[in-house]
Amino acid sequence: MSLTSPDRGYLLEHIDFDSGSIEALHGAIVNVLEHAGDARLVLGNIEGGLEGRGAAIRDATADAGEIAHRIRPTVGMLRRISVAVRGYGEAVAQHARAANDLVPEIEAAHRAVGDAESAAATAQTREGALSSDASDAQTAQAASAVEIAEEDLAARRRALADLWAAWEAAYGFWDDAYGQALAAIVNVESAGGSTAMRAAIDALANADSPAEVAEIWAGLTDAQRDDVTSRRPEFVGNLEGVPYATRFEANRAVYDETIAAGPYGDPLDSQFEQLGIELDWNDGELLMFHPFEQPQATAAVVYDVRRDERGQVIDPFAGVTNVNVLVGGMFSGLGDLEDWGQSARDLNDYAEAYGAQPTGSVSIAWYGYDSPNLATEHTMGSATEGAARLAATLRGLDAEVSSQITTSVIGHSYGSTTAFLAVGGSPEELGVDRLIAVGSAGVPDGYHAGWTGDAQMDYTGTEIYATRAPWDFVARYGEVSSFGHGTDPADIPGATTFESDGGTAPALGGGDESVLSTPGHASHDGGNSIWGWWEQDNGYLARDSESFRNIANIVANGEVLQ
């Protein structure tokens, strides 16, 4: 597991930042403010002193005054954003860099303490092993060795404690600055809002865990919760710890506003259109939604969520025994939602049918990261970003659902790389009971520097399942050509493999039926091509493939089909 600081429990990690980008953003805002100031000056001159008479002159002066009046609040908002960005940039330059510089020193100091502990234990063992007829010189020498080893150990522990104290201080200052900047930007349009509303946003933005968010949220009045949600739906909709039903409503409001402001051109328009189909016709709800995130829009859709006759969300986890998260790999994005949404719904149906006891299933199609392309698939860059986001989603899911519900994460191709890094590299339990890899492009090797430090990947408490189709050369190439994800998940101790080469499986209506072999790497259609267009409905996650039926049985019963 990862190292955590002794006093405040911070995860030892490098803070990702780009001072140049922050400075450039601040400079761009200042530039806009300067131009806005010039525009207001010109408009003021037109309003107050444009020479001439007649209707055209009167209209021009009136329009100039109205535009100048409209610019004023925008300038105020930009000024507040500028202050927030500048403050965060200063905190990054001072504290984030200092914290990052201390990380390798702390890791080295931890190793030194471990070595000193071993040396002290060895000295004590040797002293204890002295025979009763040992000479005074031997006894004195052994005692001296113990004393020296213990003094060295104490010194190294003090040095480590000093490093931790310095790192915690720097990290804490950065963390506070981040929360303040986030709260300031979220509140940027709310300068005239109530003090209570601004205080609520500030508290939520600075919360460190879904549990803390949930506690703050529960402490608000109904009016305060409604106020925050209506003013900042994009903030509430993506905040882990806020009840899912509230997040669904907030993200739907953001989706509707996004559509109303369009069109944007493809691929966004076609992606948003498909997203609307999933929401309106396929019992989907938005758990996460960042429509204009670059380089690709991100979202997560929960399937089989029902509403009552008043349109209110019914508790999506009532009577549910399984929650499943589907994570796509290379080239995946919202443009694939039709197929992945179908797989999520099919998984619910088949898991409920296969369950040995009454089984209820909810599945999530997760598109929360910038998936890799051919140039980046062999690296851990996208996985590192995606793992952080997926871990946040899983942490929030764990806080939302009962501990009696079984959580499975299913990753295809590079999606398994991301999923295994999220779960195996987390410093805390994420509540994931089963990790299922299909067509894996390889999972992290041992440990991943910058994510787990020197600690090994740890899947304790999580069942591992894996399959690769016999002719899936793309997955095997992804593994052997990688820098950091060259481990076959089937080789993880305790992992269970399952078949994906066709055969028979239980049918929904009872009895057995033939199921398809997956001929290559595709998640849904195609053979060994990355895209594959000549074969249909035989990919790892296609309903009638042997791979998919095994996944459904694993989700429902914790075992592969026999």
The model's pLDDT over 75-123, given as tens digits with 9 standing for 90+, comes to 777 777 777 777 778 777 778 888 888 988 998 898 899 899 999 999 9
Contact 19, 88 (CB under 8 A): no
Q: What is the mean pLDDT of residues 165-177?
A: 86
What pLDDT, on the 0 to 100 scale, is given for residue 533? 46
DSSP 244-309: HHHHHHHHHHHHHHHHHT----TTHHHHHHHHHHHHHHS-EEEEEEETT-SSS-EEEEEES--B-T
What pLDDT, on the 0 to 100 scale, is given for residue 406? 96
Task: Just give the CATH number of 3-188.
Answer: 1.20.1270
The model's pLDDT over 8-66, given as tens digits with 9 standing for 90+, comes to 777 777 787 777 777 777 788 888 878 877 776 776 676 666 666 667 666 667 776 67
The model's pLDDT over 302-323, given as tens digits with 9 standing for 90+, comes to 999 988 999 899 998 988 999 9
Q: What is the mean pLDDT of residues 270-297?
A: 92
Residues 6+ apart with CB under 8 A from 127: 142, 143, 145, 146
CA 415-420-423 angle, to 5 degrees, is: 125
Q: For residue 1, is pLDDT > 50?
A: no
Q: For residue 190, is pLDDT > 70?
A: no
Q: For residue 247, is pLDDT > 90?
A: yes
Comparing 175-184, 358-367, 415-424, 489-498, which segment has the lowest mean pLDDT?
175-184
CB atoms within 10 A of CB 101: 12
Measured distance CA(298)–CA(369) in Å, rounded: 6
Mean of the per-residue pLDDT values of the chain: 87
Q: For residue 294, is pLDDT > 80?
A: no
Comparing 74-83, 173-182, 424-433, which segment has the lowest mean pLDDT?
74-83
- Delimit the domains of the chain by residue range: 3-188, 264-499+548-557
* C-alpha count within 13 angstroms, C-beta hemisphere, residue 40: 15
Q: What is the mean pLDDT of residues 344-348?
A: 97
Q: For residue 399, is pLDDT > 80?
A: yes
Q: Do domains 3-188 and 264-499+548-557 have the same CATH topology?
A: no
Measured distance CA(380)–CA(443) in Å, rounded: 10
Who wins on pLDDT, 396 or 103? 396
Percent of the chain whose pLDDT exceeds 90: 51
**Class of 264-499+548-557 per CATH?**
alpha beta
What pLDDT, on the 0 to 100 scale, is given for residue 57? 64
Q: What is the mean pLDDT of residues 201-216?
A: 90
Q: For residue 215, is pLDDT > 70?
A: yes
What pLDDT, on the 0 to 100 scale, is given for residue 58? 67
Who wins on pLDDT, 17 or 441? 441
Q: What is the mean pLDDT of residues 197-204?
A: 82
What is the three-class DSSP state of 70?
helix
